[in-house]
Amino acid sequence: MAQAVAGRAEEIAAKVEDFVRNVVAPHERDARCTAHGPTEELVHELREKARAAGVMTPHILADGSHLTQRETALVLRKTGLSPLGPVACNTGAPDEGNMYLLGKIGSPEIKERFLNQLVSGASRSAFFMTEPALEGGAGSDPSMMKTTCVKDGNHWVINGRKAFITGAEGAKVGIVMAKGEDGACMFLVDLPHPSIRIERVLDTIDNSMPGGHAVVVIDNLRLPADQMLGESGEGFKYAQIRLSPARLSHCMRWLGGCTRANEIATDYANRRHAFGKPLIDHEGVGFMLAENLIDLKQAELMIDWCADVLDTGSLGTAESSMAKVAVSEALMRIADRCVQVMGGMGVSGDTIVEQIFREIRAFRIYDGPTEVHKWSLAKKIKRDWAGKSH
């Protein structure tokens, strides 16, 4: 049985890899790849091609069931071979995490109205949690949330400001997180909505995600009670259900990106000559590429280990923090070495290496900065120590 499951994932991954390398990657220099991500026109075009190739939302099967996390790791690594791969195959953030959450928590009505259009790739979504930092809003510490929700009859009224909301521009489905009297709540909303106004789309170091990252005002958003996701006051618990797999999915995709960057740097080092021999024969260059192989394998093993933990049904909070730190830092080293090996070519837009370097730098912050995860782990170490008899 295990062999059959492994074979299933390998077959899907092979189809995805062929599609991403041969159909998607040629679009990387498309003029429709903008500073705020690929345009809606390009997203639609790539997704039509993904449907034709049979690789749309490949981690969710035709019967609605999901691949295991371990299988998903294999498939999402292949979508990540191009920054446009997750966009085309519908495995990118925030949609992949939002689909996972709605599949776990959504009522049949919410799944029918909101989830199905995401799984089909017909629509994109946004997750409205992070708030403006200099206004004291929620970021790495969600308990600082200032956005409010107040019950009014059979409706809820939501007010607040959000920041770094990935994909808000152009999204059709929103998950809004707000704080009520009994704790955090989540709501589903059709987008665009007149009560949700995009103030601006931020200029950020990364540009792989459609719609970019927006600052948003929520002004008297009035929603029926049946558009609440799950139960009132359980929002932080639901966020944890989403966050561990979602941060691991980031690791999966960007491992694919760094695999591709290393391929390009390796090819360059073997073709480029300096001081009488190929760059690869210079120890300083050869050692950097050797270190890349080591970091790539360690990242792969860390992802698979955490995926196995999640597949037991565990929330995997500590394990996903460890994986996020280890993998994001390893991938940063890999991307940096690729740039260094390629010299001037590495900082130009002539290859995808430069973009992958920028994306990985942002990834060290998104879904929890390295330092926050280490702090969380240190608190766990203290709790575990205190729980033992000394």
Residue 3 has pLDDT above 90, yes or no: no
For the chain, residues classed under CATH 1.10.540.10 are 2-119
Please state the rounded mean pLDDT for residues 268-295: 98
Q: What is the pLDDT of residues 76-122, one digit of tens each?
A: 999 999 999 999 999 999 999 999 999 999 999 999 999 999 999 99
pLDDT value, residue 172: 98
pLDDT value, residue 390: 75
Reduced to 3 states (helix: H, G, I; strand: E, B; else coil), residue 339 is: helix
CA dist., res. 85 & res. 20, Å (int): 6
Q: Which residues lie closer than 8 Å to 361 by C-beta, 6 or more apart?
A: 205, 206, 332, 335
pLDDT value, residue 142: 86
For the chain, residues classed under CATH 2.40.110.10 are 125-231
Residue 190 has pLDDT above 80, yes or no: yes
Please state the rounded mean pLDDT for residues 236-240: 92
Pair 285, 269: CB distance under 8 Å: yes
Region 236-386: CATH code: 1.20.140.10
pLDDT value, residue 46: 98
Q: What is the pLDDT of residues 6-37, one digit of tens each?
A: 699 999 999 999 999 999 999 999 999 999 99
Please state the rounded mean pLDDT for residues 127-154: 94
Q: What is the pLDDT of residues 321-350, one digit of tens each?
A: 999 999 999 999 999 999 999 999 999 999
Q: Which fold has domain 125-231?
A: Butyryl-CoA Dehydrogenase, subunit A; domain 2 (2.40.110)
pLDDT value, residue 4: 53
Distance from chain centroid for Cα 125:
12
What's domain 2-119's superfamily in CATH? Acyl-CoA dehydrogenase/oxidase, N-terminal domain (1.10.540.10)
Report the percent of the chain where pLDDT is more than 90.
93
Tell me how far CA of residue 270 lies from CA of 7, 64, 193, 279, in angstroms.
34, 45, 53, 6
pLDDT value, residue 1: 43
Q: Mean pLDDT of all residues in the chain?
A: 96
Residue 268 has pLDDT above 70, yes or no: yes
CA dist., res. 368 & res. 329, Å (int): 13
Residue 140 has pLDDT above 90, yes or no: no
